[in-house]
Structure 1
C-alpha cells in the first residue's frame, strides 16, 4: 500500500520564488529515489474557511476553528506551504529518503534558506481510503 509523507511549513511571501526553486530540485531528487508523486501547495489565503467543510447543522462560526496558518505558526508576511510525497510503500520511502537526505543536491548550503526548517511540521501517513 502507498505511503504518504506530509509537510506543512510557514514560508515568507518574499521567499516564494526561492521556495519554488527548492521544491523543483527536491521533487526531482525524491522521484529519482522512488517517489511516485510530489505535490506542493501554497495556501489559498482567500479560499474557503473551515466552516464550509461542515454541514449546516454542525457548522460553527469561522473564528471557532483552527487554521493551517495557526497550526504552522505563520506570522505576518508569511503563508503556509503544504506538501506531500506519495511512495509505493513505506520500505521504498525509508530507503529513498535515506538517499535523498544524503544527496549533495539536497544540502542547499550554497543559498539562503527559503524557510526555517525548525518550523517544518512533518509526518508519515498510511492511507486508509483512496478513491
Structure 2
C-alpha cells in the first residue's frame, strides 16, 4: 500500500525543546484525530555538519539549537490535503500558529510532501 508523507526539519533552541514537545503532542493528537496514520517528531542525536550539506547546515543551526526531524503519514495525498485543511482551521491550534508564539524560528524550517518509493 503506497502512502503519502509530509516531512519537516526544524531548528529548535535547546532551552525551548520542552515547549516544542508540548505543542507537538497537542498538534499530533489533532492530526491523528483527523485521520493521519502516524505523527513522529525526532530530536537530533547524531547529526554532524557535512562537507557540502547536512541537517545542521540545512537550517543554519546555531550553537544553542538542535535539529528536529518530523513526519506525518497519510493514506494518500488527497487524504493529506483534506486533513491539513481541517487541522489548519482547528481553533485548538490557533494560538500555536502565531510566529511570535512558536518555540522555534519558522523561517528556517523546511518541509514538503512525498510519495513513498519503498515500503517494507
| Corresponding residue SS for 2:95 | coil
The offset of 1:107, in angstroms, is 1.7
Deviations 1:82-124 (A, max 9, x none): 0000001111100000000111111225883211222210100
1:84 to 71, 83, 86: 71
Render the CA deviation track for 1:29-82: whole Å, top value 9, x for unaligned. Answer: 1011110001100000xx275xxxxxxxxxxxx853522011112111011000
Matched, 1:3 2:1: no
Aligned mates of 2:18, 2:92 — CA distance in 1: 18
The TM-score normalised by the length of structure 2 is 0.89
Q: Distance in 1 between matches of 2:68 and 2:27?
A: 14
CA-atom RMSD, angstroms?
Answer: 1.9
Runs of 4+ deviating beyond 6 Å: none
Corresponding residue for 1:73?
60
Q: Aligned equivalents of 1:10 and 1:80: distance in 2?
A: 5
Can you give the 5+ residue segments of structure 2 that lack an aligned partner in the other structure? none
Matched length: 117
Please say if residues 47 and 55 of structure 2, whose CA atoms lie closer than 8 Å, have aligned partners that are also in contact: no
Matched, 1:26 2:27: yes
Q: Greater CA radius of gyration, 1 or 2?
A: 1
Structure 1: which 5+ runs fail to align? 50-61
Determine the C-alpha separation between the residues in 2 that align with 1:119 and 1:67. Answer: 14
